[in-house]
Amino acid sequence: MNFIPEYLGKRIVIKVGTSILASSAGELDISYIKSLVQDIVSLYKLGKEIIIVSSGAIGAGMKKLEMKNRPKTIPLKQACASIGQSYLMHVYENHFQKNGQLVAQVLLTHRELSERKSYINAYNTLSTLIDFKVIPIINENDAIATEELKFGDNDILAALVANLVGADTLIILTDVDGLWNEKEAKIIKVVEEINSTIFNMAQKTSKEITTGGMNTKLTAADIATKCGITTIIANGKIPQILNKIINKQEIGTLFKAKKKPLVGRKRWIAYTLIPAGSIKVDSGAKYVITEKGKSLLPSGITEVHDDFEQGDCIRIIDQEGVEFARGLVNYSSLELKKIKRKKTTQIEEILGYKYYDEVVHRDNLVIVTP
């Protein structure tokens, strides 16, 4: 008799990668999709609320256009996605229908999740579909997304969707068995906390029809776990993988959710907003931000990059150029170039006015490094 492990919860986002949906030539593996759908439906019948984030549209389009190598230009990617997306959804819908399950296609871009109104609309749409017992199948809208708006990989999209819908668990199905510990020559079963040591274990994949590797999946897991969402990376080619996970078999790598996840506002700042620029700070500023939980003051700023306005989301980088935090800025880039390295008492003298002492207040600032 099946039992439901407590860590899975009720609402589950399942990310399906191109590497398991398609053959090495890029053609959709119909028999695999049939088996996957049956696995998902069996999970759904156990009372789970399922949201699917599926790759495969570009790969399917490549096959239709008889392309052997993944397109490198945005217009060509968009053309492949336009052709492949309808075919991919047709295959999904056909097999879900045979199992008596309704599905709906939802296409998203980063812009739609970074703007408050469209973010709420996306949430309302997905919630309504779930209420009506429909399984949403989500993909990045590659047909219209431009490079600066792209998630970069559907692993990241899956993590953001999991955050959006308040998922309990994110399951990333890929073509590897989990996170590999090369030193000990084995798969890591449980990761308590994602840190630099864990990221160093990631091995990038090099495939003709895929974009992500283990590093991207770890980034997605890092986002999800910091939002309080348990994450599992497992080999989607294992027969009935989801049922095996449900039955708490030791398959894949489980990343434990943070016991004290980021609050909603800081999740929004850290993972959903599109940064408009960056600020480089000295080691002292980095220390008080990361170790003391303090705000960023103008005296700690050494460089200002790009053009941004008051209220924009910006990256905060260290002297090596590595991002360690991001937040909502209280001054424009033009203003900051005038007051960087200055004391707060000098702001009004230099600008002729002063909004705040803080460039980024700690309430609007999030540490983003593992």
205 or 21, greater pLDDT: 21
Q: Taking each helix axis from N to C terminus, what angle separates 154-165 and 214-226, rounded to the nearest 10 degrees?
A: 10
Lowest mean pLDDT among 107-111, 186-190, 240-244, 253-257: 107-111
User: Is pLDDT above 70 for 205?
Assistant: no
Q: DSSP secondary structure string, 268-326?
A: IIIIIS---EEEEE-HHHHHHHHTT-PPB-GGGEEEEES---TT-EEEEE-TTS-EEEE
Residues ≥6 apart with Cβ < 8 Å to 144? 78, 109
4 pLDDT more than 70 = no
* Cβ atoms < 10 Å from Cβ of 299: 17
Task: Name 94's Cβ contacts closer than 8 Å, sequence gap at least 6.
Answer: none
Tens digit of pLDDT for each residue in 325-352?
999 999 999 999 999 999 999 999 999 9
User: 154 vs 41, which has greater pLDDT?
Assistant: 41
pLDDT tens profile 282-301: 999 999 999 999 999 999 99
Q: Is residue 1 part of a domain?
A: no
Question: 102 phi and psi, to 5 degrees?
Answer: -80, 140
Last residue of a domain, one of 265, 290, 307: 265
Q: 40 with 145, same domain?
A: yes
Question: What's 314's domain CATH number?
Answer: 2.30.130.10
Query: Given pLDDT bands bounded at 50, 70 and 90, which one contains residue 179?
Result: very high
Task: Label residues 340-351 b or e (16+ Cβ within 10 Å = b).
Answer: bebeeeebeeee
Same domain for 137 and 100, yes or no, is yes
The residue among 221, 206, 172, 223 whose CA lies nearest residue 55 is 172
pLDDT value, residue 203: 58
Which residues make Cβ contacts (< 8 Å) with residue 288, sequence separation at least 6?
A: 294, 300
For 261, the domain range is: 6-265
Q: Same domain, yes or no, for 13 and 156? A: yes
Whether residue 19 lies inside any domain: the answer is yes
Confidence of residue 196 (pLDDT cuts 50, 70, 90): confident
In this prediction the pTM is 0.84
State whether 353 and 288 are in the same domain: yes
Q: How many structural domains does the chain have? A: 2
Task: Write phi, then psi, for 65 (nearest 5 degrees).
Answer: -90, 5
Same domain, 256 and 299: no
Domain boundary among 265, 291, 319: 265
User: Between the CA atoms of 331, 332, 333 and 334, what dihedral angle is there, to the nearest 10 degrees?
Assistant: -110
Of the residues 219, 236, 265, the one at which a domain ends: 265
Residue 171 lies in a domain: yes
pLDDT digits (tens, 9 = 90+) for 152-166: 578 999 999 999 999
Task: Give the lowest-confidence range in 104-118, 227-241, 252-266.
Answer: 104-118
222 and 154 share one domain = yes
User: What percentage of residues in the chain have a pLDDT greater than 70?
Assistant: 91
217 and 331 share one domain: no
Top-confidence residue, 68 or 261? 261
Look-up: residue for tokens 């084995």?
186
Residue 270 lies in a domain: no
In this structure, the answer to whether residues 251 and 284 fall within a common structural domain is no
